[in-house]
Chain A
Amino acid sequence: MAESNSLLVIIRHAPYGSNLLREGVDTALVAAAFGQPVDLLFLGQGAMALLKEQGSGAPGQKASLPTIDMLEMYDIEHLWTTEESLAAIGVPTSMLRNDVQFLKAKAMPGFLQQYAQILNF
């Protein structure tokens, strides 16, 4: 993404551990609705949001999967994570949704520099 207003939203917190995932994804959706080019990067616990088998009615809380599914409707096509994040939480790629793209942690500094703006949740 080379556009001067490109935004990277980094998600580092798991779906039900806090509201950071939801509020981070909401920010990405609003940015996309305003026509801003947006990508998401899921790091560490945040990669738990990429599991395809997440329940739709998790214990008393609003499920996050439908929100993640909405990203595509808003033309947010790039959901990134790092191989190191998956290794750290013990998630094999077979458990992930199909639209995830992978990055090596050592490529992160260069990756971040592609974006005009970054928001870290």
Chain B
Amino acid sequence: MEYGLLVMGAPYTSPAPHSALRFAHTLLAQGHHLSGVFFYHEGVHNASSLMAPPQDELNLHDAWIELHRAHNIPLDVCIAAALRRGLASEAEALRHGKASFNIDAPFELTGLGQLLTLQQRCDRFITFA
């Protein structure tokens, strides 16, 4: 089956990203397909390349990248929700006159239309918030 995930919980604030990652790995292990993960609301913070948790805690940013590398899962981040919260790619940082950026590939800034497309395309769509 085609699955899609919506992550709206912030890292280290909500257990939602951890639950979403466990669910993603489990469904993939069962032979299902994961069409994409969309990060919205506080979930956009999962995409920050500047997160640096202590060594005894999972680096969620890196955990998502690992999921992407192992299974080629698109990691889409709502651009409006990200910019509002101080998360920007190099291109967006330039556009807004900011000195630095914290969103890099494989995370992609995209519009909400992508969320709706993902939901419509998937057989199952699950929110983690």
Contact = CB atoms under 8 A, between A and B. Distances in A.
Given A20-B41, A117-B125, A27 B112 contact: yes
Interface residues of A, number: 15
A45 interface: no
A20 B40 CA distance: 10
Contacts, number: 32
Interface of A: 5, 7, 19-20, 23, 26-27, 30-31, 34, 36, 117, 119-121
A26 B41 contact: no
Contact of B41 (A23, A30, A34): A23
A24 to B, nearest CB: 9
Contact of B116 (A20, A31, A121): A31
B2 to A, nearest CB: 14
A34 to B, nearest CB: 6
B112 A26 contact: yes
Contacts of B120: 5, 36, 117
B81 interface: yes
A7 B111 CA distance: 18
Contacts of B6: 119
B112 A19 contact: no
Nearest to A7: B116
A4 B115 CA distance: 17
